[in-house]
Homo-oligomer: A and B are copies of this chain.
Amino acid sequence: MPAHIKNWSRDDLLLVAIDEGSSVSATFTQNTFCAAPVTVAKEHIASGSVRALLVNAGNANAATGERGIADARACCRAVAASLGIESSEVLPFSTGVIGEHLPLQRLLDAIPQAADRLCSNGWGQAAKAIMTTDTAPKTATRELEVAGERVRIVGIAKGAGMIQPNMATMLAYVATDAAIEQSLLNDWVQEAVAASFNRISVDGDTSTNDACVLIATGASAPPSANPQDDDYARLKAAIIAVHIELAQAIVRDGEGATKFVTVQVTGAASSEEALKVAFEVGESPLVKTALYASDPNWGRLVMAVGNAGIEGLDTGGVNIYLDDVQVVEAGGRAAGYREELGEAVFSKPEFTITVDLGRGDSREHIWTCDFSHDYVTINAEYRT
Q: Give the interface size bracket for A toward B.
A: 35 or more
| Interface status of A16 (Cβ within 8 A of chain B) | no
Report whether A285 and B205 are in contact in the complex, using a CB–CB cutoff of 8 Å.
yes
Report whether B297 and A63 are in contact in the complex, using a CB–CB cutoff of 8 Å.
no
A315 to B383, CA, bound (A): 23
Report whether B65 and A328 are in contact in the complex, using a CB–CB cutoff of 8 Å.
no
Report whether B382 and A332 are in contact in the complex, using a CB–CB cutoff of 8 Å.
no
A298 to B97, CA, bound (A): 10
Interface residues of A in 175-216 (CB under 8 A from B): 203-208
Report whether B205 and A332 are in contact in the complex, using a CB–CB cutoff of 8 Å.
no
**In the complex, chain B residues whose CB is within 8 Å of the CB of A332:** 63-65, 67-68, 99
Most chain-B CB neighbours within 10 Å: which of A98, A333, A380?
Answer: A380
Report whether B383 and A377 are in contact in the complex, using a CB–CB cutoff of 8 Å.
no
A309 to B100, CA, bound (A): 23
> Known: A205-B285, A376-B289. Contact between A32 and B315, CB under 8 A?
yes
> Known: A308-B32, A332-B63, A332-B68. Contact between A302 and B205, CB under 8 A?
no
Which listed residue (B304, B373, B383) contacts A376, Cβ 8 A?
B373
A287 to chain B, nearest CB (A): 8
Known: A32-B313, A33-B318, A63-B332. 17 other contacts (CB 8 A): A32-B305, A32-B306, A33-B305, A34-B306, A63-B299, A63-B315, A64-B333, A98-B299, A98-B300, A99-B302, A100-B333, A204-B284, A207-B303, A289-B375, A295-B380, A297-B383, A375-B376
Report whether B303 and A162 are in contact in the complex, using a CB–CB cutoff of 8 Å.
yes
A297 to chain B, nearest CB (A): 6
**In the complex, chain B residues whose CB is within 8 Å of the CB of A162:** 286, 303
| Interface status of A50 (Cβ within 8 A of chain B) | no
Report whether A298 and B99 are in contact in the complex, using a CB–CB cutoff of 8 Å.
yes
| Interface status of A223 (Cβ within 8 A of chain B) | no
- Hey, which bits of chain A sit against chain B, CB under 8 A? 30-34, 60, 62-65, 67-68, 97-100, 161-162, 203-208, 284-286, 289-290, 292-293, 295, 297-300, 302-310, 313, 315-316, 318, 328, 330-333, 371-373, 375-377, 379-384
A115 to B140, CA, bound (A): 68
Report whether A331 and B373 are in contact in the complex, using a CB–CB cutoff of 8 Å.
no
**In the complex, chain B residues whose CB is within 8 Å of the CB of A308:** 32
Chain B residue at smallest Cβ distance from A381? B293
